[in-house]
Amino acid sequence: MKVVLIGVGQAGGKVTQRLAEFDFNRDFDAVQGAVAVNTARADLQQLDIDTALIGQDRVKGHGVGGDNELGAEIMQDEATEVLDSLENHLTSEAEAVVIVAGLGGGTGSGGAPALAREMKRIYDIPVYVLGILPGRDEGAIYQANAGRSLKTVAREADSLLLIDNDAWRSAGESVEEGFEEINEHIAQRLGLLFASGEVSAVDQVAESVVDSSEVINTLRPGGMAVVGYASAEADEEAGENVNLITSTTRNALLTGTSVPQVVQARTGLLVVAGDPERISRKGVERARSWLEDETGSMEVRGGDFPVESDRIAALVLLGGVERSNRINEFLERAREAQTSTEESGPDRTDAFQNDDLEDLF
């Protein structure tokens, strides 16, 4: 699946660069271009991909200070300039645009939905948002910002691929170490998803091809989507890996998703990655059938992705997911954060209480 990546805000820029590096280092050629957009000049100077500084007239390159309403306004005003910076990347080969943003910061949480709305108005290809929820310890303003941004993004994008920072952070890590590990997890999972169906780095062909249409159809219900992943060392004989593929798929769904406790979904996609000589077709079909039963979906696609490895990995994509307890807990934290953060703007407690978050624009 050939994609163009647009990182909005500090976290969005870092994750976008990591995704582009993952794709380049493995010769997948799924990422057709990568651009980082920010209101803070210093954050852009740390990146090696193309960049675009916005809001200079209003914030002088110093960022929006966590004000996501200001971030949304600046993006709305300067969307044309951002799209101009994509001109050399958005060729006829691009099959989707992926806007990457942390939903807690001001530029990312405000700018991502504004940019998604403008891009959907202009382009015919799907516009997805890879949105990253702040962890519990990242401060009240981040929780409040993400609460407002979450539903706005889910409405404006063709699909919101959601990442919960708390899902992949290990105990005892510093904040910086935690973010590095999270970014690595994101790059591995989304990098493999985008590369599905592309020419592999090894000269082998999948028996049951997963192509870009499978990913697009899985995300077609819109709303929120999540991705799960797990891997295990495989036997050299495919027949010995039937149960291994099923158990790895089970781990990907039940313990390895980007938002924990998300199981029920309208659509699903199972990608089994590994050496084709080690992948059992019986195992893939059995795992796909199990995934169908577990998610309650009658629309679960499945296939394999050949890569040179002695391990087998299961990548699970769920589209149109039902809101889990984890998401409900997050929205409750966001409501409480909004109530206790006077400097974040007018009191919107009722909007959070009624679960009808006020739009950012």
Task: Name which residue leads in pLDDT, 360 or 113.
Answer: 113
311 and 257 in contact (C-beta within 8 Å)? no
Q: How large is the average pLDDT for residues 202-215?
A: 72
Q: Give bridge partners of residue 8 from the DSSP assignment.
A: 37, 101
What pTM was computed for the model?
A: 0.91
Tell me which architecture the domain covering 225-321 has in CATH.
Answer: 2-Layer Sandwich (3.30)
Is residue 218's pLDDT more than 50?
Answer: yes
The pLDDT value recorded for residue 331 is 86
The pLDDT value recorded for residue 346 is 43
Is residue 312's pLDDT more than 80?
Answer: yes
Q: Dihedrals φ, ψ of 140, to 5°? A: -65, -40
Question: Of 157, 216, 184, which Cα lies nearest the Cα of 17?
Answer: 184
Q: What percent of the chain has pLDDT over 90?
A: 72
100 and 6 in contact (C-beta within 8 Å)? yes
Angle (nearest 5°) at CA 67 between 109 and 140: 80
Sign of CA dihedral 138, 140, 142, 144: positive
Half-sphere exposure of 179 (CA within 13 A, CB side): 15
The highest-confidence range among 49-63, 144-158, 195-209, 326-340, by mean pLDDT, is 49-63
Of the CATH numbers 3.30.470.160, 3.40.50.1110, 3.40.50.1440, 3.20.20.80, which one belongs to the domain with range 3-195+324-353? 3.40.50.1440
The pLDDT value recorded for residue 213 is 92
Q: Give bridge partners of residue 231 from the DSSP assignment.
A: 313
Domain boundary assignment for the chain: 3-195+324-353, 225-321
Confidence label for 215 from pLDDT (cuts 50, 70 and 90)? very high
Q: How large is the average pLDDT for residues 31-47?
A: 96
201 and 299 in contact (C-beta within 8 Å)? no
Stated length of the chain: 361
Cα 277 to chain centroid distance, Å, stands at: 31
Is residue 14's pLDDT more than 90?
Answer: yes
The highest-confidence range among 44-53, 165-174, 178-187, 342-351, by mean pLDDT, is 44-53
Assess whether the region 3-195+324-353 and the region 225-321 belong to the same CATH fold: no
Question: How confident is the model over 129-179, as pLDDT tens digits?
Answer: 999 999 888 888 899 899 989 989 999 999 999 999 888 776 666 656 678
Residues 6+ apart with CB under 8 A from 74: 39, 54, 55, 58, 59, 64, 107, 110, 111
Is residue 194's pLDDT more than 90?
Answer: yes
Whole-Å CA distances, 169 to 19, 97, 190: 18, 27, 17
CA dist., res. 184 & res. 317, Å (int): 18
